[in-house]
Structure 1
């Protein structure tokens, strides 16, 4: 799959903003090296899933450089020492102008893709049929890159932003007065096009959300065994009434080490903030070829 086809034109503006942030005035180092044509090799020096290629390419495209890749996006890289994965060609100062911005994007995106791939591998090994998703706990200004890495790694992005789906959390419920009232108000403005998800702390709250018409019920901060029991009870109780329009999601404190303990046939979605938070970056470097 070529996930680059998902990207609209707005990512080019984002890349331009990244470059502007890094060089807001004079490029002193660029003055030193000038416009002489050069080649630089991109090396991967640690395990990672190659992700962020379109963003890396766009950095150098905006600077008048070209990139040739030796590996495919989504490929698992496990170098012994260092592995050449791409070549960047262009004026010396332009290569160096984009170096750190391009590397920052690639290192983080590939790290997230690696974490997502490892979770996805656990999912396949355990035979979990549901969806495993990231959350909206992303870095301001970097969300598009991070969500892209999640996709390349094989997991679901969940909602992209507050406009993508209506999620009613505890603060929404408390401010509205009840789950029922919050769902009704959300439906009045969201219409038929947006799903409504409600965060619930108990089976009773889940029942109220389902009765109110919620599309997704999030069982928040349930333990592994407690989650399985609650999910089974809820599904059986509403199936007896002929109601099956809703999905059950589990979220809260789930990590790569504990996710398998949450897998069960009654859970449709498992969401994990640790797919994008606290993820080690993959070590990439860009080195200009020394001339004799």
Structure 2
């Protein structure tokens, strides 16, 4: 199994329904879809196909299906591909059949989720493909659209990426401001270790090899190498190797080795060079905050 092959992630149906319901309420407003009500009779039916117009990785089919179901449970939604599949331009993604009013009223919410999340998955795949020859994995950050973090992180995984922490409560990440206020790298790590439960990972951000040496001595689980040049990243990887070589009885299997994460100035043009330094993870907000949407439309209306 390669680093991009794994069981595909799942979304909680309860979370999906709440998210889609909120989006539908936002779109339908106080009076509903007055355009459709005014122009389409209540007994009119429609059969439509959701088509991808760009190449990429599909994500969000379950949200699209939920949008149609919440408007009218009798609408039939048939997925023709699965979330995580790579598709070609013009490839049908799903068929929708039922009340024309329901299909048209749910269309925009369904497509908005599909277009955005497929865009995130597809852009992540571009980064993941670029470093597939290395051990590194691209990972997302907490820079996500408010309210969409869980589904954006879901899309990142479908694109072959990895998830960083979901929020402030599931891991400790000591950043530069924490270090400045606390009084130093080692002080911050020791304080975090004393506070955290045994299942909570501790990561610390460093911006120099001097800080990294302090961090290694204090023993965090992960060190984030912030805005370092490729040459400095190479040095950091070697420093990490040498540090653990001095304690082979602890680090023999590599399971307890300090994980190295690189961040800063990560683009499709730089990610390969960063990965080839030997780091374990490369974090970037671009895969969520700068991903272009995939062009997807509801086409082929047959009444």
- Say whether the fold is shared (TM-score over 0.5): yes
Give the conservation status (yes or no) of the 8 Å contact 2:131–2:137: no
Alignment of 1:48-63 (within 5 A): 48-63=56-71
Q: Determine the structure 1 residue equivalent to 2:88.
A: 78
Q: Does 1:219 align with 2:225?
A: yes
Q: Distance in 1 between matches of 2:124 and 2:26?
A: 29
Question: 1:138-173 CA deviation, whole Å, 9 max, x = no partner?
Answer: 111121221111111111021122122111111111
Q: Map Cα deviations across residues 190-212 of structure 1 (whole Å, 9 max, x no partner).
A: 21111010000111211222222
How far 1:61 moved relative to its partner?
A: 1.8
- In the other structure, the counterpart of 1:109 is 117
- Rounded to whole Å, the distance in 1 between the matches of 2:177 and 2:277 is 30
Q: Tell me which residue corresponds to 1:120.
A: 128
State how far apart, in whole Å, the 1-side matches of 2:65 and 2:57 are: 17
Contact 1:135 1:273 in 2 (8 A): yes
Unaligned segments of structure 2, at least 5 residues: 1-5
Partner of residue 31, structure 2: 26
Output the CA distance in 2 between the equivalents of 1:161 and 1:72: 28
1:274 corresponds to? 286
Contact residue 10 and residue 154 of structure 2 kept, 8 A: no
Match of 1:184 among 169, 179, 190: 190
Mapped to 1, the partners of 2:230 and 2:147 lie a distance apart of: 34
Could you say which residue in structure 2 is the equivalent of 1:97?
105
2:72 is aligned with 1:66: no
Number of equivalenced pairs: 287
Do 1:235 and 1:266's aligned partners in 2 also have CA atoms closer than 8 Å?
A: no
Shift of 1:66: 2.3
Any residues of structure 2 matched to 1:199-214 within 5 Å, and which? 199-214=205-220
Contact persistence 2:124–2:159 (CA under 8 A): yes
Note the alpha carbon deviations across 1:235-275, whole angstroms, 9 max, x for none: 31342255643111111111122111012464121212221
Indicate the SS of the match to 2:205.
Answer: strand
Q: Distance in 2 between matches of 1:17 and 1:281?
A: 21
Unaligned runs of 5+ in 1: none
- Structure 2 CA distance, aligned partners of 1:97 and 1:167? 43
The TM-score normalised by the length of structure 1 is: 0.91
- TM-score if structure 2 supplies the norm length? 0.87
CA contact (8 A) 1:29 1:93 kept: no
Task: Report the Cα distance in structure 2 between the residues aligned to 1:20 and 1:286, rounded to whole angstroms.
Answer: 21
